[in-house]
Structure 1
Amino acid sequence: MSFDDFDDTTDDSYPQPMPVQARLGESEVILRRTIDIVATAPSMPLSSSPRIDRDEVVELLEDALVRLPDEIRQARWMLKERQEFLDKTKREADELLGAARQQAERMVQRTEVVRAAEARARQVIDAAEEETRRLKNETEDFLDQRLGSFEILLDRLSKTVANGRNRLSIGSEPPPPESEEPIEQQEVADFFNQDDL
Structure 2
Amino acid sequence: MEMLSILETLEDLVEKSVTVPFSGKCLVDKEEILEIIKEIRLKLPDDIKQAKWIKEERQRILLEAQKEANNIIKDAENKIASLIDEHEITKKAYEQSNEIISNAQKNAREIRLGTKEYADSILSKVEQILEETLQVIRENREELK
Provide TM-score, normalisation by structure 1.
0.32
Larger radius of gyration: 2
Query: Which has more helix, going by share of residues?
Result: 2
Query: Which has more strand, going by share of residues?
Result: 2
